[in-house]
Structure 1
């Protein structure tokens, strides 16, 4: 099988990979390791997808979401360590995370640290925990169906109302009663009632929980720097990015992809990380597959739900405040701020902000009514990165969002009124979170197997396979790796179909070394 990339009208390739985010780069890395011919395409001019990083004119770096590196796979570690091999390429952090609740910083996970709440709210939460434990004892065979049922059954009404319901609506833009609970796995900590009660009495703090209690972050260039480095280990001639990589039509019958510039690529195997709903709109099933494609579109329209993500970055002059300290990311369930999460992005790496010597003018004070000196001055600098959800059920006033975000940062004591803002960043992503809605799994069962079995297409990735629980960077990368092995050798795809099993162990079956 031959492959060329010198602008002929049609080229032939064994495997075509659509998307140069973590999933596409995982597929390409595996194909390169196996010595198999491939082409990877993306409408974006640079690799990284939803794990990319932007830099403002002032020199502040902001990821396109709250990304950190923790891993279940030796192969994934091999890939990123090969890309960034030096000790000073990485910073390692212990997670310091809090929930802003009732005017206090409550240590995450909230459900194990209600001891830090005001007494009246603490009593409601503990009473709810005990009532939930009694209900589980009375009805041991009852299995929750919705996320809301899971919350109440495991945490009780107190924690549900104080944190879980409002926070998750701010994240997903969908009420917890409309979400399923099969996706939870290691994503949400079920509370230990004995520990929660003991801590509430002794006023102690529960330890960190979860796979990201310790995490890595690249020293330079943000999360996007990981993926540009991973891409740099692959042959340049195997990439087609920008307009040349923008997919117009996928002709499944002829196994041909037509691009926006009119050129075509014929393939034997197709791995796509394009958002599943958008991919189906571009899919031409031919005469025999037309009805099948229409059925898949209906299933996607009825069962696949997503939210948009808006990132707001704020660059601030001054030493990092003592009240901020070494905090990593923070959760905001209440309505005094539009964002559901804030990251102290300058804490991840000193290179995420300009050098102290850089002279920048002040754009405004955090309280915009306060006067300020417009003359450019030197630093030091620190930065905040906020995430806001937008959905059909949760509209956002985009024109006032930055202003409301700054106002919320002051209301929650992330900033003080007199703080000098020197940089503002805003970016909206049409697909931010693939929502685990009640109809998701039924829709996916009508789409993913059909794409693979009838059309020979592996749709994988955060939005390619639409399973949030298999959507971290390590999962996404390995979805691409495993899709290639399945397409070429019939190897089972464990990350997609056995996510809980994968997350419960260290996966060392594949190595890149």
Structure 2
């Protein structure tokens, strides 16, 4: 088969690209998807008991007018809008998110340690060289000790000394000593920080319903159950697991860029292979526990920095939509996320039990609730988060220009390997902007190589 544009992956980026190519009048393109469904990491699943689960705690918010209009078309009025209510469990108390703005809830000694670390002359004024130093310099030793360092290790499964801090942007609320002290004295919480303080969620089908519906708009261009086995970049031919070949002019790859370099491309140079080896990622196990009983709890999601639980985040997924439980509006769906890597090992055979124990340790359920767990669902996600490691930008500056010289464009959460632009809206728009670049020559703004 000969096509002008080949797209690997029917996740948010690949679907965004396909949709925009079609809108711009292009007909010669194809999307190759290894799974039997669209959505990638934004897929949703319904288990045997009727609970719906996402692959992690996705929420729908946007930085883009195009994405907003796309959602309006896809969701119509079939969504629920939420005001974010998120909390942190630390020192056996619940602290409103973000931690650094609400330390007044801590026990007095820990509260003082956090304030003391912020006092003038205590924090280093030297330029940080890694994420560990940035945390200590920005938040002081107290906040670093009680939340920022243990929580980030639980999320990334990577020592913060090995990570850059260039990705921070709007991802982390920085701190002001005056505000901290004022909040403590006035016993005031500061809750609304962040781009996702208001978010939408589909009424039915989980987050994956968005991308299933988006895929339907370009369904004639998608080939499911089609796994790429190799790419002849010189002759511009893709080979799949069924022995099919696809000749292309331009290729958008939304799979992990290290797999593209090390497994798919024929005769990758040592320079590209070595650069791909510099990239790091963690893995995530998502455990969904479905309970038959209900309990009033308005929280959206919760963070867990301490070692009394294996998970870094738990989502009250039943709050996102009443249809996420088998009997709408009844029962509970607790979605728990656990990271792992070579730095942070987990026992896959015991992780569901450890998650249950962690829910008890953190007061989300009690021993009696164990009897009411009617569903235990889990999924292992090999590529969970692209780590902003110290070598990342150097590696991407080698890989991306080299790929583009071959008319190969690597975009998306792991195709671009930039966590700071890998929300769902970012990911869709990476595909949209790539299509606009191909057709109209417009520069990409969401994903930048330099």
Q: TM > 0.5 between the two?
A: yes
SS at match of 1:71: coil
Aligned equivalent of 2:275, options 269, 280, 299: 299
Q: In the alignment, does 2:432 pair up with 1:481?
A: yes
Cα distance in 2 between the residues matched to 1:148 and 1:464: 26
SS at match of 1:431: coil
Per the alignment, residue 157 of structure 1 pairs with 141
Cα distance in 2 between the residues matched to 1:492 and 1:233: 25
Instruction: Give the deviation of 1:482 after TM superposition.
Output: 1.2
Instruction: Give the deviation of 1:492 after TM superposition.
Output: 1.4
Cα distance in 1 between the residues matched to 2:338 and 2:195: 24
Per the alignment, residue 235 of structure 2 pairs with 254
Q: In the alignment, does 2:93 pair up with 1:104?
A: yes
Per the alignment, residue 69 of structure 1 pairs with 60
Instruction: Give the deviation of 1:131 after TM superposition.
Output: 4.3
Cα distance in 2 between the residues matched to 1:293 and 1:428: 31
Task: Please show how residues 103-182 of structure 1 align to structure 2 within 5 Å.
Answer: 103-131=92-120, 135=123, 139=125, 142-182=126-166
Per the alignment, residue 226 of structure 1 pairs with 210
Using a 3 Å threshold, how does the CA distance of structure 1 residues 488 and 145 change in structure 2: closer, same or farther?
farther
Task: Please show how residues 393-412 of structure 1 align to structure 2 within 5 Å.
Answer: 393-412=343-362
Aligned equivalent of 2:220, options 237, 251, 268: 237
Instruction: Give the deviation of 1:498 after TM superposition.
Output: 8.8
Q: Deviations over 1:435-485 (max 9, x none)?
A: 001111111111011101x21111000000100001000000011111122
User: Does the CA contact (< 8 Å) of 2:360 and 2:367 recur in 1?
Assistant: yes
Per the alignment, residue 195 of structure 2 pairs with 211
Give the ranges of 4+ consecutive aligned residues of structure 1 lying more than 3 Å apart after TM superposition: 282-285
User: Does the CA contact (< 8 Å) of 2:322 and 2:330 recur in 1?
Assistant: no
Cα distance in 2 between the residues matched to 1:284 and 1:109: 43
Instruction: Give the deviation of 1:491 after TM superposition.
Output: 1.9
User: Does the CA contact (< 8 Å) of 2:123 and 2:136 recur in 1?
Assistant: no
Task: Please show how residues 25-64 of structure 1 align to structure 2 within 5 Å.
Answer: 25-36=15-26, 37-64=28-55
Instruction: Give the deviation of 1:145 after TM superposition.
Output: 2.3
Cα distance in 2 between the residues matched to 1:498 and 1:331: 32
Instruction: Give the deviation of 1:255 after TM superposition.
Output: 0.7
Using a 3 Å threshold, how does the CA distance of structure 1 residues 98 and 38 change in structure 2: closer, same or farther?
same
Q: In the alignment, does 2:186 pair up with 1:202?
A: yes
Aligned equivalent of 2:301, options 312, 329, 333: 329
Q: In the alignment, does 2:294 pair up with 1:319?
A: yes
User: Does the CA contact (< 8 Å) of 1:258 and 1:265 recur in 2?
Assistant: yes
Per the alignment, residue 384 of structure 2 pairs with 432
Aligned equivalent of 1:345, options 312, 317, 336: 317
User: Does the CA contact (< 8 Å) of 1:131 and 1:156 recur in 2?
Assistant: no
Per the alignment, residue 360 of structure 1 pairs with none
Using a 3 Å threshold, how does the CA distance of structure 1 residues 498 and 249 change in structure 2: closer, same or farther?
closer
Using a 3 Å threshold, how does the CA distance of structure 1 residues 231 and 400 change in structure 2: closer, same or farther?
same
Cα distance in 2 between the residues matched to 1:206 and 1:34: 44
Instruction: Give the deviation of 1:293 after TM superposition.
Output: 3.1
User: Does the CA contact (< 8 Å) of 1:311 and 1:428 recur in 2?
Assistant: yes
SS at match of 1:222: coil
Instruction: Give the deviation of 1:237 after TM superposition.
Output: 2.2
Instruction: Give the deviation of 1:35 after TM superposition.
Output: 1.4
Gaps of 5+ in 2: none
Gaps of 5+ in 1: 1-10, 357-378, 500-513
Cα distance in 2 between the residues matched to 1:214 and 1:312: 25
User: Does the CA contact (< 8 Å) of 2:58 and 2:207 recur in 1?
Assistant: yes
User: Does the CA contact (< 8 Å) of 1:460 and 1:479 recur in 2?
Assistant: yes
**Worse overlay, 25-34 or 379-388:** 379-388
Per the alignment, residue 366 of structure 1 pairs with none
Cα distance in 2 between the residues matched to 1:104 and 1:112: 15
User: Does the CA contact (< 8 Å) of 2:103 and 2:180 recur in 1?
Assistant: yes
